[in-house]
Amino acid sequence: MNTATSITVGAWTGYLNHGLALRELQCVLGIAMGQTSKELARDLGVQPESIKKRVLAASTKLGVTRRAQLVAEAMRQGVISPLAATLALVLAVHGMIGDDQMLRVRRGSGERRIETRVAVRRIEAAQTV
């Protein structure tokens, strides 16, 4: 028997076995996507009161009181992650593997740093006068 360890909803991925039940994780992912309790209830085929209870249970497990805190704490603990972060990880790993010298971007010779230093010195000189 093959059990899934993650679920993907919209642009978010949620990971099971991180302390939240399946329905609680679905609710957290819906909140992360900006859905209201009514919208979540309609999508999941349950009553809005059931969603509110699941959100309360998830909030209690993660130790938060507000919906925005719930999403932030779930991200901090690795329960959910945006797909953009996954894509960034894939690109970073690909960048480390494909280390071709011809594909590297050449940086400037520090002109901006010099301009900033000159501007700071002018400001400091003006303040002392």
pLDDT digits (tens, 9 = 90+) for 24-49: 999 999 999 889 999 999 999 999 99
Predicted confidence pLDDT, tens digits, the chain (129 residues): 456 788 888 888 899 988 899 999 999 999 998 899 999 999 999 999 999 999 999 999 999 999 989 988 998 898 998 876 666 666 676 666 655 555 555 555 566 677 777 777 887 777 776
pTM, rounded to two decimals: 0.63
CB burial class (10 A; 0-12, 13-18, 19+) of residue 87? exposed
Burial of 16 (0-12, 13-18, 19+ CB in 10 A): middle
The CATH number assigned to the domain with range 6-86 reads 1.10.10.10
